[in-house]
Amino acid sequence: MHFSVKVPGADQAGILEVKSPYSGDVVGTVASVDSAGVEQALNTSFSLYQKRNQWLPAARRAAILERMATLMEQRAEQLIAAAVAEGGKPYRDTQAELMRAIDGVKNCRECLRSESGREVPMQLNAASAGRLAFTHREPIGPVVAISAFNHPLNLIVHQIGPAIAAGCPVIVKPAEKTPLSAFLLVDLLREAGLPEAWCQPLVTENLTVAEALATDSRVAFLSFIGSAEVGWRLRSKLAPGTRCALEHGGAAPVIVADDADLDAMLPLLLKGAFYHAGQVCVSVQRIFAQRPIARDLAERLAHGAGELRVGDPANADTDVGPLIRPEAVERIDAWVNQALEAGADCLTGGKRMSEVLYPPTVLFDPDTASRVSREEIFGPVVCIYPYDTLDEAISRANDTPFAFQAAVMTRDIDTALYAYHHLQASSVMLNDHTAFRVDWMPFAGLKQSGYGVGGIPYTFREMQNEKMLVFHSAALR
């Protein structure tokens, strides 16, 4: 299957070849745009927003989103095939991602019914006598969405779906490794009835042009999902008044007490650590296990990891596919070797399988100064550390520049609540893995892990202004 994409209404600057991360074969091509193409897209979005009498009514937006969900269901295999081909996530996991994305579109539609303004109390004193006040939500303005490669269907839905529901024109720049899914989704939106100008997908010819897109003064809201280095730099360069949400990564910790039900917890840890080859911003990376059970847990986890099938993501029985690029395999291999040289015990994996495949790897007690202990590895590697006291485990779990989702596994309510209270995290999962998520819950990185709150209803609110109207009338006295 081969996909070829042009950018409607814009002159192309070049052609980007999209390659399979597994085979290296070209699976599609996308036309890129230069600064002139970006200027055209920004001008289109800004002009559209300025014409308030041409804003899309809420009923029309709701109908478009409803038809979009239906079209995604009907074209499921095409969307899955494109995402597997360009992103390398195994078929079963991509199928699950698509189901989430469809539900996400429905969630965006539901926001139009469930999210609204509010009454502001008046007539409480002499100054507010004879007054009635309420707020109404309006679209914030042009949105620029810059996305990541690891969930090419669901992340795009999380960025453009709320923008469309909120009534904002949106420009979406998918990751250059996985642009096909985004263009297919936008095609479906247009088939569902969205005028072309309201959602413009594009790929820029270089990072300089992408930065100019994000930092232009006409952008009202920047939605960025990607590396912390790029995200924080873009935020520092945003035009005055531009709001933003940044979603970066972390080194997610799990604390496992010696009373935890390991039979029930092991499948969760395996899934949380090795889903999409660990290329998930809240993937299980650091497990702090109470000393009496630490080695047993590590060995049982290693046994499970060793049974996972690694290979072609298009095969229905593959559990772990390729890394997105060969450079990622080289980096992961270097970090693991550093940990081994510093005394870590490798219980399974630890050696690259090919230029693009790295096996599920379990390291026991790596040095706390190792990169696998302090930085986001973004690969299929999990580390287990013995601990003696809960305070020790919490201190070590918190000792990174990241704070996103964390987990604690225990049958004791006091242990659970103590860990919840003291862990530096935006969400703490009890007896679940750190990568658990449903798309209507808040999803937020703290410290260097991000800025703002994700989750479809929260993004929907962020992409709107709350505007107040105050009535002053003698009839209200």
Catalytic residue ranges: 247, 281
Pairing of strands 381-387, 361-364: parallel
Half-sphere exposure of 35 (CA within 13 A, CB side): 6
CA torsion 437→438→442→448, rounded to 10°? 30
Half-sphere exposure of 340 (CA within 13 A, CB side): 15
- Could you tell me the two tokens for 71? 């079209």
Alpha carbon distance 373, 285 (integer Å): 8
Helix axes of 58-74 and 76-87: crossing angle, nearest 10 degrees:
80
- Could you tell me the two tokens for 68? 């979009």
Please provide the DSSP assignment of 356-422 as one string: S----EEEES--TTSHHHHS---SSEEEEEEESSHHHHHHHHH-SSEESEEEEE-S-HHHHHHHHHH
Q: Are the C-beta atoms of residues 402 and 249 closer than 8 Å to each other? A: yes
Alpha carbon distance 38, 108 (integer Å): 27
Please provide the DSSP assignment of 110-148 as one string: HHHHH----EEP-SSSSTTTTEEEEEEEEE-S-EEEE--
